[in-house]
Amino acid sequence: MSEADDPIAAARADGRRTLTEAEGKRLLADAGVETPAFAVCSTADEAVEAAADIGYPVVVKVSSPSVTHKSEWADGAGVVVGVESAEGVRDAADGVFEVAAEQGIDADVLVEAAADVDAGTEVIVGGLRDPSFGPVVLTGLGGVFTEVFEDTSHRIAPIDAAEARSAIEDLQAARLLDGYRGSDPADVDALANVVATAGDLVTEYPIAELDVNPVLASADGAVALDALVVLEADAETEAEGER
């Protein structure tokens, strides 16, 4: 990967520790994790063109390193799902740009293909650097249920696909992946590969926190629908903080 295409290098060059969602997804995609088709747009016109290229319905999101919890930003203006028309995309994009201007932050708009979340199970996959254990990878029930049920399984990274699958099978919610009320079983092997890849990323890169929530696990595979990556402080940043 050239420096120009490296999301971590781009963030470091900007003096940022937080990657945008698009940068996080590019990092995942480069490591072999599937993501929805998406485009980052700096104007409403670009957003409309991107939606036409991707195909409706789409999701429109704020894209800014200043906004890490998009669904909570600006009373819901940060994430608009199920947009099915050019007019809807333009309205959603204009809403993002207007609020960003009011708040004085730099923001683009991310337009991506909408996923049918009812067709699978939402899973969280993450990683962090624990002060005692070093790189750790986790998985659990994702989406809005992450904090409600707190059903997670942890492993010291790196791990292989077999150990990743074992971590998944440790979950109380693992039965949901086997098919529920007539739904097709999820491709657990594909999900295990995402978990193992998360462990590789936090091991090989200066990542303090990796939060991929949700990963949609379905019979068709495992797709990362959102991504938050926080980098470790580099030596220059630490030196500035000590002054």
CATH code of residue 98: 3.30.1490.20
10-38 pLDDT, tens digit each: 999 999 999 999 999 999 999 999 999 99
Which of 68, 94, 113 is the C-terminal boundary of a domain?
113
State whether residue 38 is helix, strand or coil.
strand
For residue 137, give the CATH number of its domain: 3.30.470.20
| Distance between first and last Cα of the chain | 34
- Looking at the fold, whether 121 and 206 belong to one and the same domain comes out as yes
Binned at pLDDT 50, 70 and 90, residue 146 comes out as: low
Q: How far is CA 35 from CA 28, 132, 214, in A?
A: 8, 32, 11
- Looking at the fold, whether 153 and 109 belong to one and the same domain comes out as no
Which of 77, 96, 113 is the C-terminal boundary of a domain?
113
Which of 91, 113, 135 is the C-terminal boundary of a domain?
113
191-225 pLDDT, tens digit each: 999 999 999 999 999 999 999 999 999 999 999 99
- Domain range for 222: 117-231
126-145 pLDDT, tens digit each: 999 999 999 999 999 887 65
Instruction: Flag whether 242 is in a domain.
Output: no
Predicted TM-score (pTM) of this structure: 0.91
- Looking at the fold, whether 55 and 34 belong to one and the same domain comes out as yes
Instruction: Flag whether 197 is in a domain.
Output: yes
Residue 117 phi/psi, 5-degree rounding, is: -70, -20
